[in-house]
Amino acid sequence: MRHKGKTRKAGGKGKQGRIPITHRIEERPQGAQDRSEIGHFEGDTVIGKQGSECLLTLVDRKTRYTAGGKTASKEAEAIKERMIEALSHLPQDKVKSVTPDRGREFARHEEVTKALPQVEFYFPAPHSPWERGTNENTNGLIREFLPKGYDMANATDEQIEHMFFLLNTRPRKCLNWLTPLEAFFNYVLHLT
């Protein structure tokens, strides 16, 4: 029986969402795999109201430092531009790789690597969010500020920056009670 709708290739996989994969997650450097080295980020998008602006999140695996920002859409061009902007504001020696999900919004990852030659992309298996657990956890924290269905157009850039500041200055047990900001930039804030 033939189903109407999307055309499927042999093996049951449709073409929707397919992007060129440069490296698989298993090929990440050891410092990324075991969280022993700063500069290996996990990336994702946090979607608000459908068709509206969205948020790009980039989280360092070792320190949980979060970067990113709001984009006009979830389109690959907007995500690429925001990613280049966010990563280029960080010290070059602290930006080594990105492990995003396999969404089409990351289809222009090779252009990010051209703009920032030290940055390689490593992709997890399809439908495997646990392979980017640091980012998934951080997106859960972001949902405390921006619940599902929230229209990202209502959040100003200053509010988004403040939210990232709050996340990056929140002491973490996994960092021996340092903040991500302290761990990433290797200095003490003396918050007490």
CATH class, 25-183 region: alpha beta
- Tokens 């960080």 correspond to 90
pLDDT tens string 100-133: 998 899 999 999 999 998 899 999 988 888 889 8
Bridge partner residues of 55 (DSSP): 46, 70
The model's pTM is 0.86
For the chain, give every domain's residue range. 25-183
Q: Please answer whether residues 152 and 52 qualify as being in contact, where contact means their C-beta atoms are separated by less than 8 angstroms.
A: yes
- Of 187, 177, 154, 156, whose CA–CA distance to 69 is shortest? 156
pLDDT tens string 53-107: 899 999 999 999 999 999 999 999 999 999 999 999 999 999 999 999 988 999 9
Pairing of β 97-100 and β 120-121: parallel
